[in-house]
Structure 1
Amino acid sequence: MEDLWVFGYGSLMWNPGFPVQMASPALLKGAHRSLCVYSWVHRGTQERPGLVFGLDRGGACRGMAFRVDPGHRDDTIAYLREREQVTMVYREHWRPVTLADGTRVTALTYMVDRSHPQYAGALPVERQLDIVLGASGRSGPNPDYVLSTAAHLTELGIRDHKMEWLSRALKAA
């Protein structure tokens, strides 16, 4: 059985939830990280949606790639499907990513389905702030998710000006 690689760009970067054999910063081309998904479960409800990250088409995304031991492959995929596809707003994709050392691997990742009713698109940061501030779901308050992701992006040396603005605004609220 071959190794499984998983590409994380949001909470998977700091909370993978599965056994990791190796982790490396990685680059995925052809998609970018965006706070473009209305969360009806983990960080909000249908009545008061939150916002979570999705991989949206175009650009590039720096994140983390995790290698999973072959013996944990099936359990990890099942776990990720349960976690990421609760409402089917993400589509499972196998995409090439480049690790920090230049090695290219094929990684499992989840990209937003633009035709899904939870797709929020590119909202202005002021609107993102309004949504995130009052939302909470099964996995906790929406501001905690955004602030934790922003902190991990900073730790990885990933600059995202919109996220930096949103992080400062959330801390000031």
Structure 2
Amino acid sequence: MATMDGDFWVFGYGSLMWRPGFEFLESGLAWVHGYHRSLCVFSHVHRGTRERPGLVLGLDYGGSCLGVAFRVRGAAREETIAYLRARELVTSVYVERNVGLRFAEGGSARALAFIVDRAHEQYAGRLSIDEMTRLVEGGVGASGDNPSYVRNTHAHLQQLDIHDPSLAEIVRRLAAREAPLAETA
């Protein structure tokens, strides 16, 4: 999984895993240490609004995170980074970083990742499951509804055999809240 000819790696831990939006040569499971996946960003654009924020994932400080690393052609560097910046830096809640990663199959590399900025107004920090569920349930933004984002991310994590107890609990609560609505229809 070493890069050649100027190729570079991009690390995805949320929607980038199931909807990267850029061409890549290969992908693989990889660990990033020093950061963890967290539903810790108030979404004011993609999955909510300023008036009614949704909640999306951030790569927050501490712990480790298993996600997907994508190898991108060196010739596509500028185009790919421009796309990622337009997608991830809409409100500047993330900071672009070059992080070390360790591939599940062995080996290591450096990768471009977007880390949550804890000083940004959209940083939610650690919220209770009740509060996270409430925010997710009501969020709708330019990229769609917040429950779909959480369900898609959770389903993709399950396909990769990655366990995220918080997302699993939120998906369970959303399903339980929707079940009575389906029965009355």
TM bin (shorter chain): over 0.9
**Structure 2 counterparts to residues 16-165 of structure 1, below 5 A:** 16-165=20-169
Q: C-alpha separation between the residues in 1 aligned to 2:168 and 2:136?
A: 14
Structure 2 regions of 5+ residues with no counterpart?
Answer: 178-185
- Counterpart-to-counterpart distance in 2, 1:153 and 1:87: 26
Two-structure CA RMSD over aligned residues (Å): 0.8
CA distance in 2, matches of 1:40, 1:142: 11
How far the C-alpha of 1:99 sits from its partner, in A, is 1.2
**Residue ranges of structure 1 left out of the alignment (5+ in a row):** none
User: How far apart are residue 102 of structure 1 and its match?
Assistant: 1.0
1:127 to partner: Cα distance: 0.5
The normalised TM-score by structure 1 is: 0.98
Residue identity matched to 1:57: Y
Distance 1:152 1:122 in 2: 23
**Structure 1 CA distance, aligned partners of 2:19 and 2:131?**
26
The share of aligned pairs that are identical, in percent, is 53
Aligned residues: 173
**1:114 counterpart SS class:** coil
Deviation (angstroms), 1:89? 0.2
Paired AA for residue 36 in structure 1: C
- What CA distance in whole angstroms lies between the structure 1 residues aligned with 2:10 and 2:135? 29
Contact 2:38–2:58, Cα closer than 8 Å, also in 1: yes
C-alpha deviation, 1:160, in angstroms: 1.5
TM-score of the superposed pair, with normalisation by structure 2: 0.92
Is the aligned partner of 1:10 residue 2:6?
Answer: no
Structure whose CA Rg is larger: 2
Aligned equivalents of 2:49, 2:91: Cα separation in 1 = 12
Of 142, 167, 174, 1:170 maps to 174
**Is this contact kept in 1: 2:129–2:170, CA < 8 A?**
yes
Cα distance in 1 between the residues matched to 2:81 and 2:26: 16
Runs of 4+ residues over 3 Å off in structure 1: none
Q: For 1:24-46, what per-residue CA distance to the aligned partner results, in whole angstroms no more than 9, with x for missing partners?
A: 01100000000000000000000
- Residues 42 and 55, structure 2, Cα contact 8 Å, conserved in 1: yes
Q: Which moved more, 1:97-106 or 1:5-14?
A: 97-106
Q: Secondary structure at the match of 1:127?
A: helix
